[in-house]
Amino acid sequence: MLERLFNKAWYGTSRWTLCLLPLAWLYAWVVKRKRRQAMEQEKTSPVTTIVVGNITVGGTGKTPIVQALVRFLKKQGYQPGIISRGYGGDCNVFPHLIEQHDTVSWTGDEPFMLAKSLQVPVVIDPVRTRGIQRLMEQGVDIVVSDDGLQHYDMARDIEICVVDGVRGLGNGNVLPVGPLREPYERINSVDFVLASGHVKEVEYQFSFHPRAWVNVKTNEERPVDSLELQGQCSAIAGIGNPQKFFNTLEALGVEFQSKAFPDHHAYNEADFRDLAPVVLMTEKDAVKVANFAHENMWALSIDAKLDLVFYTRFSEKLSQLRGCDG
Enclosing H/E stretch for 115: helix 109-118
CB neighbour list of residue 299: distance below 8 Å, 6 or more residues apart: 213, 214, 215, 216, 280, 281, 282, 283, 285, 286
Dihedral of alpha carbons 227, 229, 234, 240, sign:
positive
Q: Is 60 annotated as a binding residue?
A: yes
| Under 8 Å between Cβ of 156 and 49 | yes
Q: Provide the residue type at 234 as one letter.
A: S
DSSP strand E in 216-296: where?
221-222, 233-237, 257-260, 278-282
Q: Is 63 annotated as a binding residue?
A: yes
- Residue 130, classed as helix, strand or coil, is helix
CB neighbour list of residue 108: distance below 8 Å, 6 or more residues apart: 84, 85, 86, 87, 88, 89, 91, 124, 264
**Residue 302 bridge partners (DSSP):** 210
Q: Is 57 annotated as a binding residue?
A: yes
Enclosing H/E stretch for 311: helix 308-325
Determine the Cα–Cα distance for residues 314 and 177; give it in Å rounded to an integer.
34
- Residue 176, classed as helix, strand or coil, is coil
Q: Is 62 annotated as a binding residue?
A: yes
Crossing angle for the helix pair 109-118 and 62-75, to the nearest 10 degrees: 30
Q: Is 61 annotated as a binding residue?
A: yes
DSSP strand E in the chain: where?
48-53, 80-84, 96-97, 122-124, 142-146, 158-163, 192-195, 204-215, 221-222, 233-237, 257-260, 278-282, 297-306
CB neighbour list of residue 14: distance below 8 Å, 6 or more residues apart: 5, 8
Q: Which residues are annotated as a binding site for ATP?
A: 56-63
Q: Which residues are annotated as a binding site?
A: 56-63
